Chain A
Amino acid sequence: MTWGDTVYLLPEIVLSIGACLLLIAPVIGFRARTRSAKWTMLAILALTAVAVVVCSRIVPEPSKILSSMFALDGFAIFFKLLFLVTMAMLVLLSDDYLRNSRYSAWEYYSLLAFALCGMMFMVSGVHLASIYVGLELMSLSSYILAGYFKNELKSTEAAMKYFVLGAVSSAILLYGISLIYGVTGTLNLLRIANAMSTIVTNDALMFGIMLLGAGLCFKIAAAPFHVWTPDVYEGAPTPITAFLSTASKGAAFAIFARIFYVGMHHFRLDWQYVLATIAALSMIVGNLAAITQDNVKRMLAYSSIGHAGYVLLGIIAVSDMGLYGVLVYSVVYIFATLGIWSVVLMLSKHEYAGEQVNDFEGLHRRAPLWAFAMIIFLLSLGGIPPTAGFIGKYFLFYAAVGAGFGWLAIIAVLMSAVSMFFYFRIVMAMYLRDGQQQAEVVSSGALKFVAAICLLITLLFGIMPAPLVDQAKKSGGWVASRVAALTHGR
């Protein structure tokens, strides 16, 4: 490692300094100025984005940074920019919500910035240690954020559950990593892959891979490691639920893909079937359990369990299309979900409103445009053309069928039909029932802006998916080429 390498860490450095500034600002007398907290955070995000773009231009050899612990390849850049955009939207979503509460915006944004920093490290990590550190930075920030409304019982309960279970899963993950290290003698993903290619079978290694997989499945909320999800999603402040279900989940998808595509590549025939079972379980449990939920946050929590199952299809496939599928699906899923949360937040008059399906009744009268936007988001999550969700699901089904997992694809498509049932409960409430809700929807410009952007992206990528598909191919190309090299090297 040379000190010169640190220049490639510029985005993370900018972000960390920014996070510290946000933390110091209230102490030196800016506490009451919530609005400037928002703008500071947005400025930091913009600066970081510029740094990411600059770094991606000057990086000579993507994988050799910091003693090969850190990669600045297309895959990492793709996710970093995606997370930055997501985070900017989350800031806009949080603004009103925070102003109506008694809690400080500065620390809130600071924690979000730290979480983002962790996520950016994660997606760049090509070394299990750096991935783990990034993951922990993200997780610890999330635990605090889940309990940010410390006087709300639900919020505190959510944070406690999330923390205890999250800590256990981190420990399991770490144990898996240490077993892998013990057998292969390295933590670098490429070297692990090379070391593994000489191993025929090794029980400790298998156990290690299993524990690693279990830890990651907890992070993406795949069944049977999903039980925390509904409680945490319900209890956490709504913008934080939005964060957990979009950015945080996307980061976990990214490292899951990278670790299993590159590092664990050699034993894919062993873990494919285990993950296939988990994927099937997640899709079935998530989508079936969501049917009976009356609380929108819980419903979306279960649906996000189902979506974790869909993304696993792309990971199981171990093919180029699978990898591109993970990238494309992350984008379409994040924007559709963010859109839904922005509409939910429009409805909330106090901390926990806008959460019942009933709260959506007659929305087509009260806010026709946003009711329409909500339909598009829900159709996108259900994978109905011409929305972006169809393209995402299409990639994943394609990958699964191509990899010979026809049975899994059948479960996946049937479960996505089931998912329309509960998504359409909301549509039914909005359009088909007039209900008692008469109040006009008063929403801030920021929420409308986020919803409009998400609507635009969801429709645009649904009708004209070529740019997104091409970008995913370009960005995933580096990882895909490593995988190809590993496959042919056997």
Chain B
Amino acid sequence: MGILNIITYIPVAGAILILFLGRNASRAIRTVATATAVVDFLASLWLWPNFDKTKLFQFRETYEWIPSLGVKYDFGIDGIALLLILLTTFMGVVAVVSSYTAIKFREKEYYILLLLLQTGMIGTFCSLDFFLFYVFWEVMLVPMYFIIGIWGGPRKLYAAIKFFLYTLAGSVLMLLSILALYFFNDGGIGFLNIKGLGNVGTFSVLKFHEIGHLIPPSLQFWIFLGFFFGFAIKVPMFPFHTWLPDAHVEAPTAGSIILAAVLLKMGTYGFVRFALPILPDATIQLLTPIVVLSLIGIIYGALVSLVQKDMKKLVAYSSVSHLGFVMLGMFALNPMGLKGSVLQMINHGISTGALFLLVGIIYERTHTRMIADYGGIAKQMPVYAALFLVAALSSMGLPALNGFIGEFTILLGVANSVVFGTMTYAVIAAIGIVLGAAYLLWLYQRVFWGPLDNPKNANLPDVNKRELGLLLALVALMVWIGVYPKPFFDFIEKPVEYIVKKVEPSYFDKQPLTYPGSPSAEHSEVAEK
């Protein structure tokens, strides 16, 4: 059993342990859950120094699973997956610790579900076999359904089933695309009258990376569409986003944190790992509609955030806007854009996770999230106000904080993109950044400044030690990535280059431009090929 399996199944072990604890032993349950999350985080930290940044997929573990179907149990990560796993385990700790006081009933089930969810998420990032990937992908659904449905707000039943059905509908279509890939590689006799390759049937993602460009464009189009529905709903991209505000508003704080920080990344990760490298022709074919949807998402999400009366809903819609950036950077199809996109996934996880945590903290004290109920809180809770400011600034992309690095790199990539061939997209996206500053600063102004006119807020206690610890850890990360992002970029350098070579191989011919940190010698080498 290798390190990836250990990281994946530590939460399950913790969940089983909790199963044997008494229903009312809240303290013991919390301790075990926290210990599990922390151990899992430490285990994943082990990957950081032991990861070889010059290689692609590492820590491979391959076992036979269903030999007669060509299904293998295949684990392995590259730099992108590594960062996302670290994000997952870190946010796992945040989610567990932030739930101590927020969850008041059925605690045992809650922590079990939270831990199972973590296994599903880590497994999804580790899988290099489509069948396995799909299994983990679906495993995530059920715990999240219950977390929203049991511990959620007033409209929790509606939000939970909406989340569940939306995601399921997308993922079953993705399943069909996976099958189509399988048939193309296998033999494809009688399948859409396309002759397959006649290879041994397999679900290996790496094999599909190899054969992807051989798939005829017409077939690629349909396969891409299936993936698109699966991933775009999860991201969520503009017309498929309607489940998100409901799920976020109704979910308990920890549910929102995990949902925003990790679950949304599943969609973008899916595009990066599968859709782009396997289906280069379809990516180019569908580039314009996807980019347009991303731009609409950026502007629409920001505008809708601007008019929200509910803080949590505001942060939820801001996610639509931010994920639009991630998608835009990715589809610039150059290393710069893609790197920014991947880093922005991490940044969004940290910043938006922090914002949801902050909203959750004040909700616990006052049981309202309406902006109108607040005003002048800064006087009463100075530490809280300061931390909120850092998180908001990070989210809106202030230099020296993480959001700036991500957004700036994305904009550079978009502006230089050969496939876009225009600056218009970058300009529109920049408008989104301005709007982002507007809704966050306006929110900050209305909640924290002005007179403290609501008498109910007169005696609000400031953040306690537990909350402070969590928030400081998040702020530290924001500053780290904002000031010195190189270690993070180093991890994604190699995989990004690999993906761009797959999806837009001509980039390295057309563009003699060097980008930070990569030796130009490699480019000329590719160009010669």
Contact = CB atoms under 8 A, between A and B. Distances in A.
Interface of A: 364, 375, 379, 384-386, 390, 394, 397-398, 401-404, 406, 409-410, 413-414, 416-418, 420-421, 424, 428, 431-432, 465-466, 469-470, 473
Nearest to B194: A404
A137 B161 CA distance: 44
A432 B169 CA distance: 22
Contact of B139 (A386, A414, A420, A424): A386
B172 A390 contact: no
Contacts of A416: 172
B190 A379 contact: no
23 contacts: A384-B138, A385-B134, A385-B135, A390-B135, A394-B175, A397-B176, A401-B179, A401-B180, A401-B183, A402-B179, A402-B183, A402-B191, A409-B179, A414-B172, A417-B168, A417-B172, A428-B149, A428-B157, A431-B146, A432-B149, A432-B150, A432-B157, A469-B66
B67 interface: yes
A473 B66 CA distance: 13
Nearest to A410: B176
A421 B165 contact: yes
B371 interface: no
B173 interface: yes
Contact of B192 (A404, A414, A470, A473): A404
A128 to B, nearest CB: 29
A469 B64 CA distance: 14
B231 to A, nearest CB: 16
B68 interface: yes
B278 interface: no
4 closest A-B pairs by CB: A413-B172, A385-B135, A417-B169, A417-B168
B65 interface: yes
B32 to A, nearest CB: 19
Contacts of B173: 410, 413-414
B348 interface: no
Interface in B133-159: 134-135, 138-139, 141-142, 145-146, 149-150, 156-157
A278 B74 CA distance: 39
B68 A470 contact: yes
B513 interface: no
Chain B interface mostly: helix
Contacts of B65: 466
Contact of A403 (B150, B156, B190, B193): B190
Contacts of B179: 397-398, 401-402, 409
A432 B191 CA distance: 44
Given A386-B135, A469-B66, A406 B142 contact: no
Nearest to A467: B66
Contacts of A421: 161, 165
A349 B141 CA distance: 34
A470 B192 CA distance: 28
A364 B68 CA distance: 38
Contacts of B172: 413-414, 416-417
B69 interface: yes
A409 B176 CA distance: 7
Contacts of A465: 66
Nearest to A383: B172
A277 B191 CA distance: 19
A413 B176 contact: yes
B244 to A, nearest CB: 18
A434 B156 CA distance: 14
Contacts of B66: 465-466, 469
Interface residues of B, number: 37
A411 to B, nearest CB: 11
A384 to B, nearest CB: 5
B160 A420 contact: no
Contacts of A385: 134-135, 138-139
A280 to B, nearest CB: 15
B110 to A, nearest CB: 12
Contacts of B67: 466
B363 interface: no
A466 B64 CA distance: 10
Chain A interface mostly: helix
Contacts of A424: 145, 161, 164
Contacts of A397: 175-176, 179
Contacts of B69: 469
A390 B149 CA distance: 24
A216 to B, nearest CB: 25
A403 B193 CA distance: 10
Contacts of B138: 384-386, 390
Given A379-B142, A384-B138, 18 more contacts: A385-B138, A385-B139, A386-B135, A390-B135, A401-B191, A402-B191, A413-B172, A413-B173, A417-B172, A420-B165, A421-B161, A424-B164, A431-B149, A432-B149, A466-B66, A466-B67, A466-B68, A470-B68
Contacts of B134: 385
Nearest to B69: A469
A306 to B, nearest CB: 14
A414 B142 CA distance: 18
A428 B159 CA distance: 12
A413 B229 CA distance: 13
A336 to B, nearest CB: 16
A401 to B, nearest CB: 5
Nearest to B161: A424
Contacts of B193: 404
Interface string B62-103: 000111110000000000000000000000000000000000
A428 B165 contact: no
B191 A420 contact: no
Contacts of A401: 176, 179-180, 183, 191
Interface in B440-467: none
A403 B192 CA distance: 9
B521 to A, nearest CB: 45
Given A385-B134, A410-B176, A414-B169, A420 B164 contact: yes
A475 to B, nearest CB: 13
Given A431-B149, A466-B65, A413 B161 contact: no
Contacts of B164: 420, 424
Contacts of B169: 414, 417
B161 A428 contact: yes
B282 to A, nearest CB: 16
Contacts of A428: 149, 157, 161
A312 B73 CA distance: 30
Most buried by A among B150, B165, B175, B191: B175
A74 to B, nearest CB: 15
A325 to B, nearest CB: 12
Contacts of A414: 169, 172-173
Contact of A404 (B135, B146, B182, B190): B190
A420 B168 contact: yes
A79 to B, nearest CB: 20
A16 to B, nearest CB: 37
B150 A431 contact: yes
Contacts of B139: 385-386
A473 B68 contact: yes
B176 A406 contact: yes
Contacts of A398: 179, 182
A406 B193 CA distance: 12
Nearest to A404: B190
Contacts of B157: 428, 432
A425 to B, nearest CB: 9
Contacts of B141: 384
Given A398-B179, A432-B149, A384 B165 contact: no
A101 to B, nearest CB: 37
Given A386-B135, A417-B169, A406 B161 contact: no
Given A384-B141, A414-B169, A428-B161, A404 B191 contact: yes
A413 B169 CA distance: 8
A459 B65 CA distance: 15
Contacts of B160: 432
